[in-house]
Structure 1
Amino acid sequence: MAAWAAAARADETLRIATWHADLSRDGPGLLLRDLLADDDPALAAIVAALARVRPDAVLLTDIDYDRGGAALDAFAKRMRTAGLDYPHHFQVRPNTGRDTGADVNRDGRLGTARDAQGWGRFAGEGGLALLSRWPVAADAAVDVSDMLWRDLPDTLIAANDPAHDVQRLSTSAHWAVPVEMRGRRVTLMAFHATPPVFDGPEDRNGRRNADEIRLWQAWLNGALGHPSPALPFVLMGNANLDPLRGEGRRAAIRDLLADPRLVDPLPGRATVDWSRLDLGAMRVSYVLASADLSVRDAGVVEVPEAGEHRLVWVDVALSDEPEG
C-alpha cells in the first residue's frame, strides 16, 4: 500500500493506531531535549506521518517516561503545531528499568539493564503512551503491569528462575483504558512485549514473550481477578512476535489472532522491516478490534525516515446505541 493511499476516512468512523516509533533515547531527559530542540529529522518524520494519517487515538510503544510527563506534553505540543490536537493523554510508569534486585541473567552483577523488571538502562526507558482526541477515563483504567509472572495461569516461568518471586510479567505494561469516543466508551488495551530472543537455551525471553501475549486471553476469560474489559474494545501494541516467521513461540500470537472475540483487519501485513538483521519484513505490531465493532478500513504506513517499524491503523464504526 502506498504510504498515504488510505489516509482519508468517513466522518462516522474512528481511527485507532499504534506505532513503535523511535521515541526513546540513551538517557533520561534526552527525548525532551530533542523535542524542544526541534532539529531531529526522525522526530519531524514521526510528527508529519501522524498528522497525515490523523488517528483519533494513537498508542506509542517506545516512548521514554518521565514522572512529570514533560516529554509527552512536548510531543503533543509538536503535534498541535502540525495541525493535530491530542488534548488527552494516558501514561503510567512502565516496568522498564525498574530493578528487580535479582541477578536475572546470572552474570554475577546486580542492577544491570537485564536485571530490571523490563529491559532498560534507566527507569522509564521506552514505555507506553496513549494520545487521544477524545476524553480518556483515566479513573476507570485498569493497569495489571505489577502482576507477577508466576501468577499468570499456566505460567511458563521456570521454577528455578532467579527472579521467580519478584519478576513482573509485563516488560513495559499491560493496561486497559476507556476512552469516550463519539458518545460511546471504547476500551483501549495496550502492551509492548519483550523480544523472544537475546537469551540462551533456557528460552527465558521466549517464554515471557508468549506469556505476555497469553495474558490478554486470560484477562478476557476473567482469569486475572479483574473483570473482562467491557465491549467494545481494541487491543493494540507491539507483540514482538510474527505468527509465521522468526524465533519465538508463535502459537501464542496465532491463538490470539484466532480468538473469535477479536477481528484481525490486517492478516499477513508486515509492520517492520528488519533487513539489517537479515530477517526481512515481519508482523509484530497489531491493532485488533472486538468482534462487535465494524471494521471499515485498515492500513500500514511505512515511514523510512522514522525507523524500521511502521504505523498501523484501523478504522472502526460504532453502533448508534450501546449494546446490552
Structure 2
Amino acid sequence: MDLRALALLIILSGPVQADPLRLATWDPGLSRDGPGLLLRDIDRADPQVLAAARVIAAARPDAILLTSFDWDLDGRALSAFAGLLAEMGHPLPHRHASQPNRGVQTGLDLDGDGRPGQPRDAQGYGAFTGQSGMALLSRLPIAGVTDHSAILWRDLPGNRMPDSPHGDAQRLSSTAHWDIRLTTPAGPLHLLAFAATPPAFEARNPARNHDEAAFWLAHLPDAPFAVIGNLNLDPQDGDGDPAALSALLTVTQDPAPRGAWQPPQTGPNAGHTGDPALDTAEYDRPPGNLRLDYILPARGLTVADAGVIWPAPGDPLADAVALASHRKLVWIDLSLR
C-alpha cells in the first residue's frame, strides 16, 4: 500500500483513539513536623516514603494529585520524590506545586483563643509554611495553572462564613484551589484540584468545608474537566454537610471507585450506612472508615474503570499500602476522544 492510500485509509477510519487516561488522587502521608524533613526522609530512603512511591508506581497513574505533601520554595522534595518514582519505572516528569495556604500565618488570632501565631491562625492549618500542601505529578504536559487560592472566603457568592472581624483577611482555601490544564492527545483536560479542611475541630470548619467544594460550582471551565482531591466529606457516615457535593454531582458523575477488600464492619464501623467498598480513609476510632477522596469527571466524559487501592491482607501490595498512609489511593480511567 502506498503512502497516499494509507493516509486515505486513516482519514476514512476516523480519529485515532487515545488510550484511557488514568487520574489518581491520594493523601500519601508525605508531611513532616518541620520544614526540610520530608526531603531528608526522601534522601535517606525512609521506609514510609518508599512505600508511598511503591503504591503510586503500582497504580501507574498518568496524573496524580497528592493532597498531603510538604511544599518547599525550590520544589526540592517534589523533585526528589519524582526521581524516586522514575527509578521505580514510573516517570512523571511534569509537576506543579505552588505555595499552599497551609501554615501561612496571618498575624491575626483567627481562632479567637487569644494566642496569635498558632497553627490555627494560619490561612490553613499548619505548623510551618507549606506543611501538608498539594502537588501534582503528571506524565502529560501541564499547559497552565490558574491558582484561586488567594480568594477571600467572604467573596464567595452565597458563602457560609461565620461573622468574623477578620473577614478581610481569611482566605477560602485551607490548602489550595488549582485549575490545572493538562495537554492530552484528545485536547485539554482541566483538573479542578483542592484539599478541603475537615468539618471538625473548629466551629468554622463545617462551613468552610462546604464552601471549599461549592467554590467550583462558580468556576467550571467551558472544557472537559474533573473535580479531584480530598473533599474531607463522607456523605453518609461523616459529620459534614453534603449539600455542596450533591450540587457538584449535578454537573459531574460519580464513578464510585471501589476497593478490592474492606476490613470487618465492626467496632467503629458497625453503625455505618454507606457502602464500605467506597471508603478511602481508615480510622480505628469513631466514626470509623470514611469516603473522603474523590475524582468526579464532567458529565459526558466516559469512565472506563475506577478503583480504590485497598488490597486484602497477604496481597503483595498490602504492606506498602498500610505503611504509607491511613488514606487509600483513588483512581479512574477516562476514555478521551
TM-based fold match above 0.5: yes
Report what 2:324 is aligned to. 306
> What are the residue-to-residue correspondences of 1:104-253 with 2, within 5 Å?
104-138=110-144, 141-159=145-163, 161-199=164-202, 203-220=203-220, 229-253=221-245
Q: Could you state the TM-score of these two structures normalised by the residue count of structure 1? A: 0.87
Q: Distance in 2 between matches of 1:183 and 1:77?
A: 28
Q: Which runs of 5+ in 2 are unaligned?
A: 1-16, 258-274, 311-320
The alpha-carbon deviation at position 278 of structure 1 amounts to: 2.2
Secondary structure of the corresponding residue to residue 237 of structure 1: strand
Asked if the contact 1:88–1:136 (Cα under 8 Å) also holds between the matched residues in 2, the reply is yes
Say whether residues 1:279 and 2:287 are aligned partners.
Answer: yes
User: After TM superposition, which residue ranges in structure 1, 4 or more long, deviate above 4 angstroms?
Assistant: none
AA aligned to 2:299 is: A
Q: Report deviation, 1:110.
A: 1.1
TM-score norm. by structure 2 comes to 0.84
Does the 8 A contact of 1:24 with 1:62 survive in 2? yes
Pairwise CA distance, 1:156:
0.7
CA drift of 1:178 comes to: 0.6
Contact 2:18–2:335 (CA<8 Å) still a contact in 1?
Answer: no
Which amino acid in 2 is paired with 1:82? M
CA distance in 2, matches of 1:244, 1:181: 35
Contact 1:96 1:120 in 2 (8 A): yes
Q: What are the ranges of 5 or more consecutive residues in structure 1 without an aligned counterpart?
A: 1-9, 221-228, 320-324
Q: Distance in 2 between matches of 1:168 and 1:214?
A: 14
One-letter code aligned to 1:43:
V
- Offset at 1:255? 2.6
Q: Give 1:33's match in structure 2, choosing from 34, 37, 40.
A: 40
User: Which position in structure 1 is the counterpart of 2:27?
Assistant: 20
Q: 2:316 — aligned with what? A: none
- Does the Cα contact within 8 Å between 1:231 and 1:292 map onto a contact in 2? no
**Cα distance in structure 2, aligned partners of 1:230 and 1:50:** 31
2:70 aligned to which of 64, 67, 73: 64
Distance 1:218 1:238, change over 3 A: same
- For residue 282 of structure 1, give the secondary structure of its aligned residue in structure 2: coil
Alpha-carbon distance in 1 for matches of 2:325, 2:178: 26
Structure with higher Rg: it is: 2
1:182: how far off? 2.0
Contact 2:186 2:336 in 1 (8 A): no
**Matched position secondary structure for 1:230:** coil
> In angstroms, what is the RMSD of aligned CA positions?
1.4
Equivalenced residue count is 292
What residue is the counterpart of 1:99 in the other structure? Answer: 105
